[in-house]
């Protein structure tokens, strides 16, 4: 069952894709992929096995694509610096996925068995650490202290966001502001940093660096909010993991925050029993989805995502029209269109 969202006929986002953005950075991404393969090599056989299991599993590589595209938007001349920083961003993202799956006890990732199921929690954590180490080596090789500062700060903020999520887990009293603080840290910060380092490499004015960062931050929030809706209203293929994982793991996401706020006392008791106390029985996921649809909070979550998408689009206003800007704008529509 897909997310039930009223969609105006002919909305631009309904036809959106990443095709233009992917084509725009195809040469750079070929070099990024080569770099990724070379940097996952190790004499310790398990390291490339675990890393390749996730890296080769068909992710869109949106974050490194954004690094290359924002560098191009700001006139960067296509040197190896952007390639290495894009690969660093992908390694940081992959490391967080390996770690997250251990913390969340997830069984699937990107439609495949999670690495922790195949090799164990210990290997997943340690290979994630290896990838982070390789990411920072590449950042140092680029030689931009400012880019190193942005990405290393992002690594700290991401970890803080994950810890914040742990403290919010199972807390049905979590507010919308508290939840947005979590996803700014754990998801949107890497989008923001990935976009910000492009104009830094191109040595563009601070205003352009800030604009790219704002674009990435708002895009990242929109992206996560759509994931939140898809977990209850999407499919495993669209989500890349089992539908309902957030529910089974007791995660408090925006649809739950809104449903708890709008719900009856009987519905709040249901959320406390299932999410707070972890007492989930047969049919509870279906009941959860029914409540969310009845309260209209999946559509409300998608609408929130659209609002952040609009902020991402507005952030690019200082840049002149062109193919790269158009492709970045369409990427916003694509991220939201996943809910259709």
Task: Write down the pLDDT at residue 208.
Answer: 98
Over residues 151-199, the pLDDT tens digits come to 999 999 999 999 999 888 889 999 999 999 999 999 999 999 999 999 9
**What value does the mean pLDDT take over residues 270-292?**
96
pTM of this structure: 0.92
Task: Write down the pLDDT at residue 241.
Answer: 59
Full set of structural domains in the chain with CATH? 12-337 (1.10.600.10)
Task: Write down the pLDDT at residue 4.
Answer: 39
Task: Write down the pLDDT at residue 238.
Answer: 55
Task: Write down the pLDDT at residue 13.
Answer: 61
Average pLDDT score, the chain: 91
| Contacts of range 11-15, beta carbons closer than 8 Å, 24 or more positions apart | 12/333, 13/309, 13/332, 13/333, 13/334, 13/336, 13/337, 13/340, 14/337, 14/340, 15/337
Over residues 102-116, the pLDDT tens digits come to 998 888 887 788 899
**What value does the mean pLDDT take over residues 76-97?**
94
Environment class of residue 285 by beta-carbon count within 10 Å: exposed (0-12), middle (13-18) or buried (19+)? middle
Looking at the DSSP bridge assignments, the partners of residue 40 are: none
Is the pLDDT reported for residue 261 higher than 70?
A: yes
């Amino acid at each position: 069952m897909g997310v039930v969202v009223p969609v105006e006929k002919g909305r631009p986002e309904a036809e959106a894709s990443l095709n233009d953005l992917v084509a725009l950075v195809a040469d750079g991404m070929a070099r990024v992929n080569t770099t990724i393969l070379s940097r996952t090599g190790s004499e310790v056989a398990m390291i490339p096995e675990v890393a390749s299991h996730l890296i080769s599993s068909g992710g869109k590589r949106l974050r490194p694509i954004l690094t290359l595209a924002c560098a191009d938007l700001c006139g960067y001349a296509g040197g190896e610096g952007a390639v290495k920083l894009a690969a660093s961003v992908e390694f940081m993202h992959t490391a967080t996925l390996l770690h997250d799956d251990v913390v969340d006890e997830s069984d699937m990732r990107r439609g495949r068995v999670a690495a922790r199921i195949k090799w164990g929690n210990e290997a997943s954590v340690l290979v994630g650490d290896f990838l982070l180490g390789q990411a920072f080596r590449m950042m140092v090789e680029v030689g931009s202290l400012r880019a190193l500062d942005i990405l290393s700060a992002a690594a700290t903020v991401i970890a803080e966001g994950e810890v914040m999520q742990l403290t919010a887990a199972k807390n049905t009293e979590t507010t919308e502001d508290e939840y947005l603080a979590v996803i700014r840290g754990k998801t949107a910060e890497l989008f923001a940093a990935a976009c910000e380092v492009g104009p830094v490499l191109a040595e563009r004015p601070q205003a352009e660096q800030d604009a790219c960062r704002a674009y990435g931050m708002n895009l990242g929030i929109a992206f996560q909010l759509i994931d939140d809706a898809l977990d209850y209203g999407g499919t495993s293929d669209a989500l890349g993991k089992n539908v309902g994982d957030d529910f089974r793991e007791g995660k408090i996401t925006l649809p739950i925050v809104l449903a708890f706020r709008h719900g009856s006392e009987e519905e709040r008791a249901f959320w406390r029993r299932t999410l707070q106390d972890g007492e989930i029985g047969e049919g509870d996921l279906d009941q959860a989805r029914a409540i969310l649809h009845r309260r209209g909070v999946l559509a409300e979550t998608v609408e929130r995502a659209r609002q952040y998408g609009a902020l991402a689009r507005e952030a690019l206003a200082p840049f002149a029209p062109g193919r790269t800007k158009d492709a970045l704008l369409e990427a916003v529509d694509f991220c939201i269109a996943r809910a259709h």
